[in-house]
């Protein structure tokens, strides 16, 4: 069952019971009732407090639930909370819980039987995110938003459970995207008993409320989940979810081996296609090559991810060549010229098989409802204008602009294309390839003047993207990697956070994005797309711009 992995024999005993019988599953189970996916990136924890990477998010999504969840159109709706209200001042959120949600059966509970979820479980789970002892990277979803004490820390009364079925969250001021934040895996509910029993080992002993139960984790090789026969959700016909009896996660790191395994029918879907496989199965225009038509389904949908170049606005930590580049990049004309020099549509066509949308607007990606290229026009390919701006800034053939672009190996080919575009207008760019961790550190500490980066949305609201340019969010503590600073921008950002009228809020978002276009602390290269390959017998696996993996309604024919 686990191709190219030494763990096949070790996990056979876990799946063998499923191939004979499964409680509440009906007839004899076979491989058609086991959903198999691969996770090429390392998975570090099954604790929702550590869902700061896609591998952890996908794995945790199958095990847990939150108060609310996103629907197919990325709007928050009821989950464990059957209903909710927001006070007229936008600062008090009240959630009423369903009475039929239970934690998975576990040794941590009396008699090994999972108990009912109550409001205090959410209070505990939320406070745990903020507890320094937990060391969760997810505390930011509440910090600065919920009610604070005189020291500026979350107040003891910001999360309250007046009774078993009611949870209240108190904000210090209105924050419109807050419901969206509560759909994130960080906000999933966990039982105090399990965390107290296992401590930090809760990462490998998860107990949740979700459609699947944790069975085994052979770290680095495979994870197996079994169907939760007591899951609280049912379909429209009254059948209890999920439909499949097990989930099997493998960890094939080599992308070519992963693709071959999929083509052998031993994986049910793939997310994302690396350059080699992309060229193998797709024409440059993004359509499937004839050799592969009909062998699987290819789905391509907008992705909440903007691929961009950052231009450091704060020279304080720049040294050597980076310092010289940083001084050049202080000139807005230079930043704009670098943008006009790029042929972004050709970049998508020749290097990415048209997977993505050229970044011809602002920083907010095309998959969000506030996006408007008409209202936020960006930079088209105008090399003559780039040359003119560079000349105005004092650069010429005798005095060329020299820059160093920091990147990682997987973006090297794209950077080489950009390098040629810039050379055409007289800019000499050296490509500096670094290990991912070193690159991240340089970007976070402001020691790189010019760098490649991407921003994958945490929740489906433009505020999450525009926060990258708020002056109080400077890296490394915040997401403002370029240290962009504008009083006018800050005023709009603070106003937008409080604006409850959707149309007015979108107008504020667009005003902010126009400032980013004009000042150019970043160069949006393209707005990404999710590409998924799915076996023809898989039904109910629907991609969305968050690239979520939700398996509770998946069937295999």
DSSP structure class, residue 375: T
Q: Using DSSP, state whether 163 is helix, strand or coil.
A: strand
Give the single-character DSSP code of 31: G
Of 121, 143, 138, 133, whose CA–CA distance to 50 is shortest?
Answer: 138
Query: Residue 447 and residue 34: Cα distance in Å, rounded?
Result: 48
Residue with tokens 């959903």: 35
- Put residue 152 in one of left, alpha, beta given phi > 0 → left and psi -120 to 50 → alpha: left
Burial of 334 (0-12, 13-18, 19+ CB in 10 A): buried
| Contact (CB, 8 A) for 403 and 423 | no
Q: What is the spatial distance between Cα 66 and Cα 109, in angstroms, rounded to a whole number?
A: 20
Task: Copy the structure tokens of residue 230.
Answer: 């007591």
DSSP state of 184: S
pLDDT score of 273: 74
* Amino acid 1: pLDDT: 39
| Helix (H/G/I), strand (E/B), else coil: 307 | strand
- Cross-strand partners of 56: none
Q: How buried is residue 429: exposed, middle or buried, by Cβ count under 10 Å (0-12/13-18/19+)?
A: buried
Dihedral sign for Cα 57, 61, 67, 70, please.
positive
CA neighbor of 248 nearest in space, from 18, 529, 490, 548:
18
Report H helices in 184-245. Answer: 192-198
Residue 557, classed as helix, strand or coil, is: coil
Euclidean distance between CA atoms 233 and 101, whole angstroms: 9
Cα distance between residue 70 and residue 66, in whole Å: 10
* Consecutive H or E run containing 291: none
| pTM confidence score | 0.87
- What angle, 0 to 180 degrees and rounded to 10, lies between the N-to-C axes of helices 332-340 and 383-392? 160
Domains and CATH numbers, the chain: 1-45+53-62+210-268+535-557 (3.40.190.10), 64-202 (3.90.76.10), 303-530 (3.10.105.10)
Look up tokens 């009610």; give the residue.
Answer: 147
DSSP 112-132: GPPPBP-HHHHHHHHHHHH-T
User: Which residue in this structure is represented by tokens 């921008």?
Assistant: 489
Distance CA 338, CA 340 (A): 6
pLDDT of residue 3: 39
H-helix or E-strand containing 37? strand 34-38
Question: What interhelical angle do 412-424 and 344-351 show, nearest 10?
Answer: 140
Query: What is the residue-level pLDDT of the chain in tens, covering all 557 positions?
Result: 333 344 444 444 445 454 444 444 444 446 679 999 999 988 999 999 999 999 999 999 999 999 999 988 888 999 999 999 999 999 999 999 999 999 999 999 999 999 999 999 999 999 999 999 999 999 999 999 999 999 999 999 999 999 999 999 999 999 999 999 999 999 999 999 999 999 999 999 999 999 999 999 999 899 999 999 999 999 999 999 999 999 999 999 988 899 899 999 999 999 877 666 677 788 888 888 888 889 999 888 899 999 999 999 999 999 998 999 999 999 999 999 999 999 999 999 988 889 999 999 999 999 999 999 999 999 999 999 999 999 999 999 999 999 999 999 989 999 999 999 999 999 999 999 999 889 999 999 999 999 999 999 999 999 999 999 999 999 998 899 999 999 999 999 999 988 989 999 999 999 999 999 999 999 999 999 988 999 999 999 988 889 999 999 999 99
**What is the greatest pairwise CA distance in the chain?**
81
In whole angstroms, how large is the CA radius of gyration of the chain? 25
DSSP designation for 546: T
Confirm if 505 and 499 have CB atoms less than 8 A apart. Answer: yes
**Pick from 36, 536, 548: nearest CA to 288:** 536
Q: Which residue has the tokens 């550190």?
A: 441
Calpha distance 171→159 (Å, rounded): 9
Question: In whole angstroms, how far apart are CA 46 and each of 81, 225, 350?
Answer: 23, 12, 39
Strand partners for 78: 68
Q: Rounded distance, CA 62 to CA 51, Å? A: 13
């Amino acid at each position: 069952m686990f191709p190219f992995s030494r763990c096949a024999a070790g996990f056979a005993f876990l799946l063998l019971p499923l191939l004979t019988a499964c409680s509440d599953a009906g007839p004899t189970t076979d491989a058609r009732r086991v959903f198999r996916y691969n996770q090429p990136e390392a998975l570090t924890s099954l604790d929702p407090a550590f869902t700061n990477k896609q591998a952890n998010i996908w794995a945790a999504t199958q095990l847990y639930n939150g108060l609310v969840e996103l629907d197919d159109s990325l709007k928050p709706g009821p989950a464990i909370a059957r209903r909710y209200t927001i006070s007229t001042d936008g600062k008090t959120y009240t959630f009423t819980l369903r009475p039929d949600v239970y934690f998975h059966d576990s040794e941590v509970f009396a008699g090994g039987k999972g108990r009912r979820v109550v409001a205090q479980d959410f209070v505990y789970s939320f406070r745990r995110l903020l507890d320094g002892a937990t060391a969760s990277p997810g505390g930011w979803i509440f910090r600065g938003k919920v009610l604070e004490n005189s020291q500026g820390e979350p107040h003891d009364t910001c999360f309250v459970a007046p009774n078993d079925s009611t949870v209240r969250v108190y904000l210090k001021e209105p924050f419109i995207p807050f419901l969206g934040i509560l759909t994130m895996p960080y906000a999933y509910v966990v039982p105090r008993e399990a965390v107290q029993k296992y401590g930090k080992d809760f990462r490998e002993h998860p107990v949740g409320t979700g459609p699947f139960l944790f069975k085994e984790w052979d770290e680095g090789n495979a994870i197996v989940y079994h169907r939760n026969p007591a899951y609280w959700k049912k379909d429209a016909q009254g059948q209890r979810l999920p439909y499949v009896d097990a989930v099997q996660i493998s960890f094939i790191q080599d992308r070519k081996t992963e693709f071959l395994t999929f083509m052998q029918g031993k994986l049910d879907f793939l997310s994302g296609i690396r350059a080699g496989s992309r060229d193998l199965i797709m024409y440059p225009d993004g359509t499937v090559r004839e050799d592969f038509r009909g062998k699987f389904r290819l789905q391509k949908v907008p992705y909440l991810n903007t691929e961009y170049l950052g231009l450091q606005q704060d020279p304080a930590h720049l040294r050597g060549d980076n310092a010289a580049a940083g001084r050049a990049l202080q000139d807005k004309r230079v930043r704009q010229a670098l943008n006009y020099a790029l042929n972004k549509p050709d970049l998508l066509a020749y290097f990415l098989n048209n997977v993505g949308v050229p970044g011809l607007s602002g920083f907010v990606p095309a998959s969000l409802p506030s996006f408007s290229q008409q209202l936020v026009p960006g930079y088209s390919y105008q090399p003559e204008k780039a040359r003119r701006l560079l000349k105005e800034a004092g650069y010429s053939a005798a005095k060329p602009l020299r820059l160093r672009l920091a990147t990682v190996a997987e973006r090297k080919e794209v950077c080489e294309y950009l390098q040629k575009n810039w050379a055409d207008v007289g800019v000499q760019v050296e490509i500096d390839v670094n290990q991912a961790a070193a690159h991240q550190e340089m970007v976070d500490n402001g020691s790189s003047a010019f760098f490649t980066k991407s921003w994958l949305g945490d929740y489906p609201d433009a505020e999450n993207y525009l926060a990258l340019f708020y002056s109080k969010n400077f890296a490394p503590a915040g997401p403002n990697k370029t240290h962009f600073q504008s009083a006018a921008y800050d005023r709009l950002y603070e106003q937008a956070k409080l604006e409850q009228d959707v149309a007015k809020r979108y107008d504020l978002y667009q005003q902010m994005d126009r400032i980013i276009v004009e000042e150019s602390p970043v160069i949006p290269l393209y707005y990404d797309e999710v590409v998924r390959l799915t076996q023809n017998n898989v039904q109910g696996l629907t991609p969305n711009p968050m690239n979520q993996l939700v398996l509770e309604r998946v069937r295999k024919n």
